[in-house]
């Protein structure tokens, strides 16, 4: 059965205190909150609809530039979550399949969790399935209210809940799976007679029961996965939660993380066995790191980096959008950007690939072929190619291509003024 996704991303995120960035485009380790959610469904849905509102143009541009089979749908004015989903009804008039509804500010939910949720919906022949979880402190969450036989009765938002209902610890996780053909009429019949005067998505549960539909709840065991981002404090907490599970995954796969408390690695990084990541290293974005590498301490990989086997990136090395071939060493205090390094290359300490032209705003590439040796404190002004086996003398500024097996250096003659210090004293 076909599956489509609807992602709610129209909210302003007032508590984020940001005038320039919509909540769903705030980032964790170089990736937006919305990007995490979209990536977690893209492998098993045929199309994604992103409901936009606040800073709609920016969110639309993000979706357009980064995702295929996805489109944005404007919600204006914003009259609640039920109203948000209703915006996609014209796009799905004749659709006969499943729709999974998610929030754009819950980046921790896993793809495998969502697949299990959909499978539960199918196995139970449900028409409406809501994801729930148990919180010791359920404040701010809608409560799952069950019948005496433990079946699902309704969802009550906290602002509308009675004291008894507020004591319930099972809460709405904000993720739904719908048999769209049977449920789509609900979005034209929701009422706004609540404390907020909004059309609640949660009301489709009681609507479904009134239509004698099969309504069920899937209890998520790991409640961390639906941790929502509403403030900068939430963002910091979610970042730590995500990083911890990333590091545990890498260590389980044979990667040594010397100090997990000071190491940050994105979930979109692939790392080979027996690689060692030293303390205070920060790896963000999408990267591939091979086997038997040594990274750090205090290294920074900024995304788009491919590191082959047996590579060493020393302390305080920064790399972005570059490929580093096997058995290459990049010495400490170096910057490698928009570059391609061959195998058995040695980069001396303090080497810089000057990839950015501040006047034209263009970035150019540096190419170092196999067996190149770069002396310490060298600046390679891109675009530039150093052919196989060439050596660059320490302290050089390289502005032209260097032929194979040549020595290149730019250096003023050394002057020694005897007894100069003694005379000055």
Domain with CATH 3.90.550.10 in the chain: 3-226
264, 243 Cβ separation under 8 angstroms: yes
Find tokens 């970035």 and name the residue: 363
Residue with tokens 């069920």: 216
Taking only the tens place, the pLDDT of each residue in 353-385 is: 999 999 999 999 999 999 999 999 999 999 999
**Arithmetic mean of pLDDT, 230-257:** 97
Confidence of residue 213 (pLDDT cuts 50, 70, 90): very high
Tokens 């969502």 belong to which residue? Answer: 114
| β-pairing verdict for 98-103 and 170-179 | antiparallel
300 annotated active-site: no
Tokens 């072929």 sit on residue: 369
Q: Looking at domain 3-226, what is its CATH homologous superfamily?
A: Spore Coat Polysaccharide Biosynthesis Protein SpsA; Chain A (3.90.550.10)
Of the pLDDT bands very low, low, confident and very high (cuts 50, 70, 90), residue 195 is confident
Residue 307 Cα to chain centre, angstroms: 20
Q: Does position 13 have pLDDT exceeding 90, yes or no?
A: no
- Contact (CB, 8 A) for 250 and 267: no
Confidence of residue 159 (pLDDT cuts 50, 70, 90): confident
Torsion 246-251-256-259 (CA) sign = positive
List Cβ neighbours of 186 (8 Å cut-off, separation of 6 or more). Answer: 203, 204, 207, 208
* Segment 207-232 mean pLDDT: 94
Query: Could you give the CA distance from residue 287 to residue 325 in angstroms, rounded to a whole number?
Result: 14
pLDDT over 90 (residue 224) = yes
Residue 257 confidence (pLDDT) above 90: yes
- How many Å apart are CA 274 and CA 293, to the nearest integer? 7
Catalytic residue among 54, 55, 300, 332: 332
- Classify residue 8 as exposed, middle or buried by CB count within 10 Å of its CB (0-12, 13-18, 19+): buried
pLDDT, one tens digit per residue, over 315-363 is 999 999 999 999 999 999 999 999 999 999 999 999 999 999 999 999 9
- Segment 383-389 mean pLDDT: 98
pLDDT of amino acid 219: 96
Given a cut of 90, is residue 311 above it in pLDDT? yes
Length of the chain, in residues: 425
> What is the pLDDT averaged over residues 416-425?
92
Q: What is the 3-state secondary structure (H, E, C) of the chain?
A: CCEEEEEEECCCCHHHCCCCCCHHHCEECCEEHHHHHHHCCCCCCCEEEEEEECEHHHHHHHHHHHCCCEEEEECCCCCCHHHHHHCCHHHHCCCCCEEEEEECCCCCCCHHHHHHHHHHHHHCCCCEEEEEEECCCCCCCCEEEECCCCCEEEEECHHHCCHHHHCCCEEEEEEEEEEHHHHHHHHHCCCCCCCCCCCCHHHHHHHHHHCCCCEEEEEECCHHHHCCCCCHHHHHHHHHHHHHHHHHHHHHCCCEECCHHHCEECCCEEECCCCEECCCCEECCCEEECCCCEECCCCEECCCEEECCCCEECCCCEEECCEECCCCEECCCCEEECEEECCCCEECCCCEEECECCCCCCECCEEECCCCEECCCCEEECCEEECCCCEECCCCEECCCECCCCEECCCCCCCCCCCHHHHHC
At 148, the pLDDT band (50, 70, 90 cuts) reads confident
Give the pairing type, strands 47-52 and 128-134.
unpaired
pLDDT for 43 equals 96
Q: What backbone phi and psi angles, to 5 degrees, belong to 258?
A: -65, -40
Question: C-alpha 216: how far from its chain's center?
Answer: 31
CA 98 to chain centre: 26
- The segment(s) of the chain belonging to CATH 2.160.10.10 are 232-408
Q: How large is the average pLDDT for residues 100-117?
A: 97
Give 160 or 303, the one with higher predicted confidence: 303
Q: Does domain 232-408 have CATH number 2.160.10.10?
A: yes
Q: Which residues of 118-145 are buried (b: 16+ CB within 10 A; e: fewer)?
A: bebbeeeebbbbbbbbebeebeebbbbb
């Amino acid at each position: 059965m076909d599956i489509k996704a609807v992602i709610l991303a129209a909210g302003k995120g007032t508590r984020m205190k940001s005038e320039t960035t919509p909540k769903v485009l705030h980032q964790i380790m170089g990736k937006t909150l919305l990007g995490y959610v979209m990536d977690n469904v893209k492998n098993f849905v045929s199309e994604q609809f992103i409901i936009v509102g606040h800073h709609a143009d920016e969110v639309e541009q993000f979706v357009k530039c980064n995702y295929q089979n996805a489109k944005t749908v404007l919600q204006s004015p914003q009259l609640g979550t039920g109203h948000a989903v209703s915006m996609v009804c014209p796009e799905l008039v004749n659709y006969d399949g499943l729709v999974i509804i998610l929030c754009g500010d819950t980046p921790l939910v896993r793809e495998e969790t969502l697949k299990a949720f959909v499978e539960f919906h199918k196995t139970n022949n449900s028409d409406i399935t809501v994801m729930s979880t148990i919180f010791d402190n359920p404040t701010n969450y809608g409560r799952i209210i069950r019948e005496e036989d433990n079946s699902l009765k309704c969802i009550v938002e906290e602002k509308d809940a009675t004291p008894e209902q507020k004591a319930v610890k099972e809460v709405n996780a904000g993720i739904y799976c719908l048999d769209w053909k049977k449920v789509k009429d609900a979005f034209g019949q929701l009422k706004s007679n609540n404390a907020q005067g909004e059309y609640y998505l949660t009301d489709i549960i009681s609507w479904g029961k009134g239509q004698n539909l099969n309504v069920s709840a899937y209890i998520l065991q790991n409640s961390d996965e639906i941790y929502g981002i509403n403030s900068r404090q939430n963002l910091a907490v979610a970042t730590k939660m995500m990083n911890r599970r990333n590091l545990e995954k890498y260590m389980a796969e044979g990667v040594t993380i010397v100090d997990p408390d000071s190491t940050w690695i994105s979930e979109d990084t692939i790392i080979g066995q027996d690689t060692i990541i030293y303390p205070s290293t920060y790896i963000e974005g999408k990267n591939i790191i091979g086997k038997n590498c040594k990274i750090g301490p205090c290294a920074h990989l900024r995304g788009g980096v491919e590191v082959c086997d047996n590579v060493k990136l020393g302390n305080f090395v920064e790399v972005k959008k570059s490929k580093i071939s096997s058995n290459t060493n990049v010495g400490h205090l170096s910057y490698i950007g928009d570059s391609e390094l061959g195998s058995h290359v040695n980069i001396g300490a303090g080497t810089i690939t000057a990839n950015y032209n501040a006047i034209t705003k263009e970035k150019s590439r540096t190419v170092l072929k196999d067996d190149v040796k770069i002396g310490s404190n060298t600046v390679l002004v891109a675009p530039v190619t150093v052919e196989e086996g060439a050596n660059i003398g320490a302290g050089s500024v390289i502005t032209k291509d260097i032929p194979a097996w040549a020595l290149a250096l730019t250096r003023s003659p050394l002057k020694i003024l005897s007894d100069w210090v003694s005379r000055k004293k």
